């Protein structure tokens, strides 16, 4: 697999003009350049024929579970709605709206925040195929400007894909990553960390006296702060569920994790070199849930829960939903295997976590009622 030559040329020309790009800017162009980026230009991203699968794609039970929390809080709100960041192939939306339609508890609107016109067309196609009668409930936005809702906000595998900075501790100072070019070849170099990054790193680390080993490399996502602030402006009353692979800060910055958490995925194979397959592979970093939690508190959110994906789904009754659904005999076995994939510790059940935030809502939540580990944040 080779890089997208048009994107590669664009990046090298941009670097020649500016001298270097911060790693986050390089990652942003690689993934989200409106004409050439991975998410905006690649034809098949999700599923067997794409590069990776997400929990909603694996099983509709995931969306049906999240619907239970929406039903739970909807009785406390006047016009409850749902907002989802990055709608993927619309699997989550379809499974939720099917369930909510049966329960006679449809949201006033379902907003998808999506910048990729290609993915929007895919989402519309799948919605028209599965639930055409509910298409009028769906709105698409490319940002949160002028969004104001009460209800449920879902960020499923969103924060991991935000462009991140990379930092390095050289034994004396913290350095930050830049991408430069030489003879049209891209390479990573390190320079002094900015004051803004240094302040944010203190929030991300949490431990004031944390000492890093020499040549330790990890990630610092400056976008967290912006998105938490944007969400705070957009939701009046409701619940935010952030679902992603990640750790608390203590686990995130383990001494043994010397190369950080950045990962690249192409055709269901992972590796750790962001400077190859440019525009043709996903790049992400594990989420630092302590960092997000600290920022949420600073923005007056209540941190209601921090759980593994499996624990939260069990709280929401996923086993009961599975048992009560009617399947053909072979379908039930297939669904059980999917269930194992999203629940078991050695698959997605433990590496994926759910951070649950509340704003101006006193309703006791279903998703956080047991197995809650907010004290570990």
pLDDT, mean over the chain: 96
Identify the pLDDT of residue 48: 84
**Percent of the chain's residues with pLDDT above 70:** 100
Confidence of residue 1 (pLDDT cuts 50, 70, 90): low
C-alpha separations of 242 from 191, 231, 275 in Å: 32, 12, 29
For the chain, domains (ranges, CATH) are 5-164+222-245+278-376 (3.40.50.12710)
Residues 170/82, Cβ–Cβ less than 8 Å: no
N-term to C-term CA, the chain: 40
Question: Model confidence over 289-316: pLDDT tens digits?
Answer: 999 999 999 999 999 999 999 999 999 9
**Percent of the chain's residues with pLDDT above 90:** 93
Confidence of residue 328 (pLDDT cuts 50, 70, 90): confident
Helical residues (DSSP H) of the chain, grouped into ranges: 5-18, 23-32, 38-41, 55-58, 61-74, 91-102, 117-130, 195-205, 223-234, 249-252, 289-298, 309-315, 318-324, 329-343
Is 90 exceeded by the pLDDT of residue 206? no
Nearest to 72 by CA among 317, 269, 313, 365: 365
């Amino acid at each position: 697999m080779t890089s997208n030559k048009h994107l590669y040329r664009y990046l090298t020309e941009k670097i020649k003009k500016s001298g270097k790009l911060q790693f986050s800017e390089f990652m942003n162009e690689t993934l989200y350049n409106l004409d050439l980026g991975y998410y905006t230009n690649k034809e098949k991203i999700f599923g067997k024929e794409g590069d990776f699968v997400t929990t909603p794609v694996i099983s509709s039970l995931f969306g049906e579970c999240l619907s239970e929390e929406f039903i739970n809080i909807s009785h406390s709100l006047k016009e409850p709605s749902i907002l989802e960041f990055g709608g993927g192939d619309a699997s989550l939306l379809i499974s939720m709206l099917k369930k909510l339609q049966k329960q006679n508890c449809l949201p006033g609107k379902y907003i998808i925040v999506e910048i990729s016109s290609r993915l929007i067309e895919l989402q519309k196609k799948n919605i028209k195929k599965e639930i055409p009668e509910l298409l009028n409930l769906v709105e698409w936005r490319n940002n949160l400007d002028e969004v104001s809702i009460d209800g449920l906000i879902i960020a499923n595998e969103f924060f991991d894909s935000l462009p991140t900075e990379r930092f390095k501790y050289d034994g004396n100072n913290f350095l930050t990553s830049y991408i430069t070019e030489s003879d049209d070849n891209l390479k990573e170099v390190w320079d002094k960390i900015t004051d803004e990054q240094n302040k944010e790193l203190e929030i991300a680390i949490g431990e004031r006296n944390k000492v890093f080993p020499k040549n330790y490399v990890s990630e610092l996502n400056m976008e967290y702060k912006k998105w938490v602030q944007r969400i705070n402006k957009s939701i009046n009353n409701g619940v935010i569920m952030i679902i992603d692979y990640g750790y608390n800060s203590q686990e995130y910055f383990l001494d043994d994790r010397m190369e950080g958490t950045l990962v690249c995925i192409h055709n269901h194979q992972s590796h750790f070199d962001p400077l190859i397959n440019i525009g043709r592979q996903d790049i992400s970093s594990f989420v630092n849930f302590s960092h997000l939690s600290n920022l949420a508190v600073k923005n007056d959110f209540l941190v209601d829960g921090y759980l593994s994906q499996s624990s939260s789904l069990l709280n929401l009754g996923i086993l009961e939903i599975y048992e009560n659904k009617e399947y053909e005999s072979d379908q039930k076995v297939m669904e059980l295997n999917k269930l194992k994939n999203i629940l078991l510790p050695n698959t997605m059940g433990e590496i994926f976590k759910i951070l649950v935030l509340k704003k101006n809502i006193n309703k006791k939540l279903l998703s956080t009622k047991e197995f809650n580990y907010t004290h570990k944040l």
